[in-house]
């Protein structure tokens, strides 16, 4: 059974075609710069990637291009669109409405659109992907998998803000979190690697890349997470500032003469690693500057690692301890220096990294010392596989459901 997983961005469309029975990736790729004349399509598994320069005016054109390559390309894994049984869509914001993945219906589409105010670029892009697949794959059931649903188990003391309560009642102002599909996958996979039940573990999961979040998972249940009502809150990230004193926002607006749109852009796109280092939002480039003795690059590393360290401490307090810390994302998986800095000084808390294991490169691996009371594991995330699994389960739960047709 073949499931097409779609992750639509405002100007991009990532995809994987997965045989969900064997969990084998049959094809994957990325359409970039959708809506621009210099758009292109990368397609292929492993080293067989090809780059196709083609004009993609919108997401429907992007999905059409993807389907053509899947059926007619040199590496075509299927013979027709009928070989795609269902489509799973990543949707960032599900608000308080969705505590799990759901089959897409007109009512679900309306809710995704209603919640776009909380994630305007992400949710509207997801809707564009849904509408494109509705047009080009009318036979296929479609499923929405929400980044926020994993965090619907947070207690009110974790998700509420200390603002007038009626703002929560009127506008739904609360913590929703993000990266939930990733945190769900790596927590489950870490438990499998340890040969233990997730329900027996206190776990802190760290998704560290250009976007960053840390979550507390207490015996399989998410009880807190660093991102807030939007993905801007929490850790310092590639271009996002993370948590700051709220009074800074009107101060900057007054002194710089910025509009709400401009200050939002500053905090989301010009801050974080990029804003502090002045080099890049990519930690690899910042690391190269650090090797050359750049003091602002060192400051960026110190701030990034310190932010993660503080959340680890917070969540140990929330759960009264931790058994396992899991790292994923481009930084969490690949930057040994950042991992070393994050765990430096945590030995009194029973967290001891192994220098030798930390230097090793590979995929799933334990990097804590044998004398560490807390196990530290690196697990590459696989959100696409989680989306495919959820889509498969919903197809079987709702075998009589009519595919969404707009």
- pLDDT at residue 117, as a whole number: 85
**Mean pLDDT calculated for residue range 364-369:** 97
**Mean pLDDT calculated for residue range 107-111:** 96
Q: What is the pLDDT of residues 32-48, one digit of tens each?
A: 999 999 999 999 876 67
Q: Which of 68, 147, 224, 282 is catalytic?
A: 147
Evaluate the CA torsion angle 125, 128, 133, 138 in order and state its sign. positive
Q: Confidence class of residue 401 from pLDDT cuts 50, 70 and 90? A: low
What does the longest C-alpha to C-alpha distance in the chain come to?
63
User: Which tops the pLDDT comparison, 122 or 386?
Assistant: 386
Q: What is the pLDDT of residues 283-333, one digit of tens each?
A: 999 999 999 999 999 999 999 999 999 999 999 999 999 999 999 999 999
Best CA proximity match to 125, nearest among 247, 216, 228, 11? 11
Q: What is the pLDDT of residues 79-103, one digit of tens each?
A: 999 999 999 999 999 999 999 999 9
- pLDDT at residue 402, as a whole number: 58
DSSP alpha helix (H) spans, 141-259: 156-159, 165-171, 180-194, 248-256
- pLDDT at residue 398, as a whole number: 65
Best CA proximity match to 2, nearest among 23, 29, 31, 28? 23
Asked whether this chain's domains 2-146 and 193-382 adopt the same fold, the reply is yes
Q: pTM higher than 0.85, yes or no?
A: yes
Q: Is the pLDDT of residue 211 over 70?
A: yes
The Cα–Cα gap between 39 and 29 comes to 14
What whole-number percentage of the chain has pLDDT above 70? 97
- pLDDT at residue 11, as a whole number: 85
**Mean pLDDT calculated for residue range 174-199:** 96
- pLDDT at residue 162, as a whole number: 98
Q: Is the pLDDT of residue 273 over 90?
A: yes
Q: Domain 2-146: which topology?
A: Nucleotidyltransferase; domain 5 (3.30.420)
- pLDDT at residue 405, as a whole number: 64
**Mean pLDDT calculated for residue range 92-119:** 93
User: What's the mean per-residue pLDDT of the chain?
Assistant: 94
Strand order in the sheet with 202-208: 221-225, 212-218, 202-208, 324-328, 375-378, 365-366
- pLDDT at residue 362, as a whole number: 83
Q: Is the pLDDT of residue 209 over 60?
A: yes
**Mean pLDDT calculated for residue range 229-257:** 96
46 is catalytic: no
Q: Is the pLDDT of residue 400 over 80?
A: no
The domain defined by 193-382 carries CATH number 3.30.420.40: yes
Domain spans of the chain, in order of start = 2-146, 193-382
- pLDDT at residue 122, as a whole number: 85
Count of CB atoms within 10 A of residue 42's CB?
14
The SS3 call for residue 50 is strand
- pLDDT at residue 399, as a whole number: 60
């Amino acid at each position: 059974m073949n499931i097409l997983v779609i992750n639509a961005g405002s100007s991009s469309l990532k995809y994987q075609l997965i045989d969900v029975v064997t969990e084998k990736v049959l094809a994957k790729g990325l359409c970039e710069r959708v809506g621009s004349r210099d758009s292109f399509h990368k397609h292929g598994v492993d080293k067989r990637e090809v780059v196709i320069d083609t004009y993609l005016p919108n997401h429907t054109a992007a999905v059409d291009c993807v389907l053509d390559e899947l059926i007619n390309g040199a590496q075509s894994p299927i013979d027709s669109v009928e070989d795609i049984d269902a489509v799973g869509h990543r949707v960032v914001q599900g608000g308080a409405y969705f505590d799990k993945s759901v089959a897409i219906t007109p009512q679900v589409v309306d809710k995704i659109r209603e919640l776009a105010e909380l994630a305007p670029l992400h949710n509207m892009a997801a809707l564009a992907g849904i509408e494109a697949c509705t047009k080009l794959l009318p036979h296929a059931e479609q499923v929405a998998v929400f980044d926020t649903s994993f965090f619907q188990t947070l207690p009110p003391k974790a998700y509420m803000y200390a603002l007038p309560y009626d703002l929560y009642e009127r506008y739904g102002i609360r913590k929703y979190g993000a990266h939930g599909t990733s945190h769900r996958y790596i927590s489950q996979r870490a438990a499998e690697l340890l040969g233990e039940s997730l329900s027996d573990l206190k776990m802190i999961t760290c998704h560290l890349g250009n976007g960053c979040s840390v979550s507390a998972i207490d015996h399989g249940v998410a009880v807190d997470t660093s991102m807030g009502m939007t993905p801007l809150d929490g850790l310092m990230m590639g271009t996002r500032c993370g948590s700051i004193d709220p009074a800074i926002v009107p101060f900057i607006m007054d002194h710089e003469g910025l509009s709400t749109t401009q200050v939002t852009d500053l905090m989301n796109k010009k801050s974080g690693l990029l804003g502090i280092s002045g080099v890049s939002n990519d930690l690899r480039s910042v690391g190269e500057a650090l090797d050359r003795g750049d003091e602002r690059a060192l400051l960026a590393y110190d701030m990034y690692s310190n932010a993660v360290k503080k959340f680890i401490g917070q969540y140990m307090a929330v759960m009264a301890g931790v058994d396992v810390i899991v790292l994923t994302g481009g930084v969490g998986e690949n930057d040994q220096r950042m991992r070393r800095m994050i765990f430096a000084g945590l030995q009194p808390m029973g967290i001891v990294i192994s220098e030798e294991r930390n230097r090793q490169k590979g995929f799933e691996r334990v990097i804590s010392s044998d004398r560490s009371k807390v196990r530290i594991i690196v697990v590459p995330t696989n959100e696409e596989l989680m989306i495919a699994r959820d889509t498969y389960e919903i197809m079987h739960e709702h075998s009589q459901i009519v595919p969404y047709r707009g």
